[in-house]
Structure 1
């Protein structure tokens, strides 16, 4: 019996995801800190973040904040399923995944803000604290990215579907007992 394929992630969400992931990899591992590429890719990432925030209000259901915002009730239900070792089937972001996503978005904005402060605010030129905060935030984002990747693999096994592939293709297989928590 074949499973039905559902359109899940729209092109804006997928481009946002790929763009900020690519910028993070480039700026964290390859680009010279403070170099032109580092700065402009940082601005590009923050611009995509602004698009994604707006898209959360006007985009399709799976992109909307109201569909996946990590409320206490949603987080308790998901944590309970993990503790009980039950799959938590949900189209779109799981509540814990949504929480990590929101935290990553806050970090991206904060990294962009501290980078801008270092580049554009003359009163802070030469001050150490913006750089220290910028680097600490980037390291925290790296930890969340690794957590996000590990969770995507773990959840893929839990729900028996390739969740990272669904972000690339925009489609996900509907599961027989799919529920919308």
Structure 2
């Protein structure tokens, strides 16, 4: 087993802060409260900071290090279908697609949430319905993300949740590594 330093503290803190903020706003905090708005603004600030970190941060945090290409996405799907045991040091191509999906979804949730507080869009049904649909899409994405993390951890023998806590991936020596 070889251990690699992958996730810097910012990426890990961002990840878990986003998890906590989204879950609190979606499950615990009253939708009509001022706290719901402020947590929504905090989510937007987190995402904006993550986008900035994706441009100037550590190597594995940069979008350039994991931007999904059709060929890499297809290669990962092929690996899964043929049971080829290869793992990625950073984000997998499918994981990268999920990250981009979740970042865009959080931005859209924040935008529609903000729109609902303005005079121009207050009480407009399509804005609230879009906001709610985006939250549902986010939940579906989160469930798929967690299922994929569990599946990939089992498939590759790399404990991905542990890596997002410690910042280090322990990769079995029997796994082909994609850097």
CA distance in 1, matches of 2:130, 2:116: 11
Q: Secondary structure at the match of 2:86?
A: coil
Stretches of structure 2 lacking an aligned partner (at least 5 in a row)? none
Stretches of structure 1 lacking an aligned partner (at least 5 in a row)? none
Counterpart check, 1:179 vs 2:177: yes
How far the C-alpha of 1:141 sits from its partner, in A, is 0.3
User: Which digits, 9 at most, give the CA deviation of each residue in 1:98-154, with x for residues without a partner?
Assistant: 1011101100000000000001x2111111111100000000000000000000000
Counterpart check, 1:131 vs 2:128: yes
CA distance in 1, matches of 2:4, 2:60: 11
> Which structure 2 residues correspond to residues 164-175 of structure 1 after superposition, within 5 A?
164-175=161-172
Counterpart check, 1:105 vs 2:103: yes
Q: Secondary structure at the match of 2:88?
A: coil
> Which structure 2 residues correspond to residues 137-156 of structure 1 after superposition, within 5 A?
137-156=134-153
In the TM superposition, structure 1's runs of 4+ consecutive aligned residues that sit over 6 Å from their partners are none
Residue 14 (structure 1) aligns with: 12
CA distance in 2, matches of 1:166, 1:141: 23
CA distance in 1, matches of 2:114, 2:146: 28
Provide the alpha-carbon RMSD of the alignment: 1.2
> Which structure 2 residues correspond to residues 1-181 of structure 1 after superposition, within 5 A?
3-119=1-117, 121-176=118-173, 177-180=175-178
Structure number with higher strand proportion: 2
User: Which digits, 9 at most, give the CA deviation of each residue in 1:3-55, with x for residues without a partner?
Assistant: 23211100111111011100111011111113122111111011010111111
Q: Secondary structure at the match of 1:152?
A: helix
